[in-house]
Amino acid sequence: MPRRHPDLLIVGSGIAGLYVALRAREEGLVPCILTKSRLTESNTRYAQGGIAAAVGADDSPALHFQDTLRAGAGLVDRAAARALTQEAPRRIADLARWGVPFDTVEGRVTLGREAAHSRDRILHAGGDATGLHIEETLQRRVVEEGIDVREHTHLLALRSQGREGVSLTVSSPRGEEELRGTFAVLATGGAGHLYRESSNPTIATGEGVAIAARGGALVRDMEFIQFHPTVFRREGAPRFLISEAVRGEGALLRNVQGERFMPRYHPQAELAPRDVVSRAIAFELERSGEKHVLLDATAIPRERLLLRFPTIGHFLQRQGLDLSHDLIPVAPMAHYMVGGVATNLSGESSVRGLYACGEVTSTGVHGANRLASNSLMEGLVFGERIVRSARGADRWTGVPSSNPEVLLSPAPREHGAPSPGGPLTRNGLAKLLWEQVGILRDPHRLQDAVARISRDWSIAEREREDGQEPGPAISDLLLTGLMIARGALAREESRGGHYRTDFPRARAVWRRHLGMRMRAAK
C-alpha cells in the first residue's frame, strides 16, 4: 500500500535539516524537507569560520570538551558537550564521504584556530567559504537522492497527535494545508535578523522557536544572544561578517585612534571568547561615540590572507579596501541564538513527536556562550541522534516541561492598547531589540522593551485568532522577541552572551537554565 505520510517532516534546509534528511534516507526512513525560501538559502551558507572537530595529532575530544566548558560560562550541559566532542570526528567523516571538499595540504586536512580553542581544530572548505561548500554538497546529495523538497513553504503551526504522529499547518503556493508525519524535525535556524544590526540573512527571524512554543514546547535560555565581534560596518555598505579566523591568524583590534585595546579587557586579548570581545568593542564605542573600531591584519603576509580568506578579500575589494593594507571598520552585531527549543540528547523536545536540531534548539552544548565553530557540528551530532531515535519510535522520552520560570500569555483585550506611534512592525521590533536588548542591557530599557513587545504581541495574537493576519505572522516575530527580552529581564546577572549593567558579574544563584512555556489556555 502507498505510504500515507513521511516518517520525518523536516522544517528547514540548513546543515541540520539536510543532514537529517540524508541520514534518514540511508537508514530507510522517508524524509520530506520544507523550507520557507529556496533550498539554496540558509544561514549555513554564510558560515565562514569552519567546523570544529578534534582530528589533529595533538588534539583530543577531551581537550575539545574542556574548551567547550570554559566558553559556556558555567551553563554547559556536560553530557551534551561530551556527545558533541566525542562524535565530531565521525560526523566529519560523514561529510567527507558525501564529498565536502575540506582544505588540505599534501593530502592532510588543514586546521585553523579560533577564539577560546586551545588547539588548531577548525576544518575549512574553500578557505572562508566552509558553510557554502557544506551546504552546496549536501543540497546536491539531497537532489541526487530524490528527497522530496517543498520550497516557499511556511510553517504556521504544529500539533502533536500523540502516538499517531504530528501535524503541521503550512502556507505554500498551493495555499494553506495540513501535512502529517510520524515525526517533525524543527531545523529552522536562528533569530539574528530580528536585530537591526545583524550578520544573518533576512530569513533568520526565529519563527520556528515561536511556533514550537505556541505548540506547547519548552523553550530555554533565550536571553543568550551571541554578538559576533567583527562585522564590516560602513554607512551605506552591506553588513558582512569578518571571520574570527582572521584574528586567529594574528589580526589585531584597534580603536579609531589606532590604539590596540583588547589586552586591557582579557589576557587572551583578540582571542578571548566572543562575548568578551563584543563587550570590549561596545565599551570602546560607547566611550568614543564612534560606530566602529578597526581590524588590523596588515602584519599577516598577503599571500596567506588571500589563501585563507578569499571570500572576505573579494568583498573588501568591492568596497575599495585591501585586507593586507587597510584597517577594516568593524562592529559587533547579532549573530547566533544560543537558546531555543529545549531538547534532550536524542533531539527530543517536550512535545511528543517533535524533534529539534541546530540553532533553533537549546541542547545545552553552548551553555551561555557558544564556542566558535561548534554550531555546525551541533547540527550534525544531534541530527544523527535524531535519526537513531526515530528508528526506535516507541521509545520517546522527551524533555520535562513542568515548572518553567517564565510563563507567557497574551494580555487581556482591555490591556491591549497599541504602543505609542502604532504597533511594532518588523523594522520597529528590530530597532527596539538592538537599542534595548542588545550587547549592554539595563533594567529600565529591558522593562520598557518587555512592556511594548508584550502589548503588541497580545494584539497580534488576537488578530491571528480572528483571521486578520494571513500567512507568516508578525505575532511569531514578536513572540520570539518577547522571549529574548523577557529572559534578559528575568536573569539578574551577567553570564556569557547576557550582560546586565546593574548586575555586571555572574551570580551563583543564577547558575541554572531559564525555562519558558506558553501558559495553557483556560
CATH code where residue 274 lies: 3.90.700.10
Within this chain, do residues 391 and 503 fall inside the same structural domain, yes or no? yes
Structure confidence at residue 111 as a pLDDT band (50, 70, 90): very high
The total number of structural domains in the chain stands at: 2
Q: Which of 45, 220, 247, 274 is catalytic?
A: 274
> 467 burial class (0-12, 13-18, 19+ CB within 10 angstroms)?
exposed
In a domain? residue 124: no
DSSP E strand stretches across 101-203: 104-105, 108-109, 111-112, 122-123, 148-150, 154-160, 166-172, 175-181, 183-186
Within this chain, do residues 174 and 35 fall inside the same structural domain, yes or no? yes
Alpha-carbon span 452 to 418, nearest angstrom: 8
Would you call 234 a catalytic residue per the annotation?
no
Q: Which pLDDT score is estimated for 481? A: 97
In a domain? residue 163: yes
Within this chain, do residues 450 and 324 fall inside the same structural domain, yes or no? no
Q: Does residue 298 surpass a pLDDT of 50?
A: yes
Counting residues of the chain whose pLDDT is more than 90, the rounded percentage is 78
Q: Does residue 44 surpass a pLDDT of 80?
A: no
Q: Among residues 335, 355, 387, which one ends one of the domains?
A: 335
Residue with cell 560526523: 91
Q: Which pLDDT score is estimated for 126? A: 86
Within this chain, do residues 292 and 261 fall inside the same structural domain, yes or no? yes
Structure confidence at residue 37 as a pLDDT band (50, 70, 90): confident
pTM of the entire predicted model = 0.93
Q: Does residue 203 surpass a pLDDT of 90?
A: no
DSSP label at 342? Answer: E
Within this chain, do residues 298 and 367 fall inside the same structural domain, yes or no? no
User: Do residues 376 and 131 lie in contact, with contact meaning Cβ atoms separated by under 8 Å?
Assistant: yes
Within this chain, do residues 415 and 494 fall inside the same structural domain, yes or no? yes
Alpha-carbon span 20 to 372, nearest angstrom: 22
Q: Among residues 335, 367, 385, which one ends one of the domains?
A: 335
CA torsion sign for 292, 225, 364, 209 is: negative
Orientation angle between helical segments 207-214 and 474-490, nearest 10 degrees:
90
Q: Does residue 394 surpass a pLDDT of 70?
A: no
**Residue 171: which CATH number?**
3.50.50.60
User: Do residues 469 and 479 lie in contact, with contact meaning Cβ atoms separated by under 8 Å?
Assistant: no
Q: Among residues 304, 335, 366, which one ends one of the domains?
A: 335
* Helices and strands: H and E segment counts in the chain: 13, 23
Within this chain, do residues 218 and 233 fall inside the same structural domain, yes or no? no
Q: pLDDT tens for residues 417-456?
A: 666 667 889 999 999 999 999 999 999 999 999 999 999 9
Q: pLDDT tens for residues 238-284?
A: 999 998 889 989 999 999 999 999 999 999 999 888 899 999 999 99
Task: Report the alpha-carbon angle 89-91-95, nearest 5.
Answer: 115
**Domain ranges, residue 295:** 229-335
Residue with cell 534578559: 488
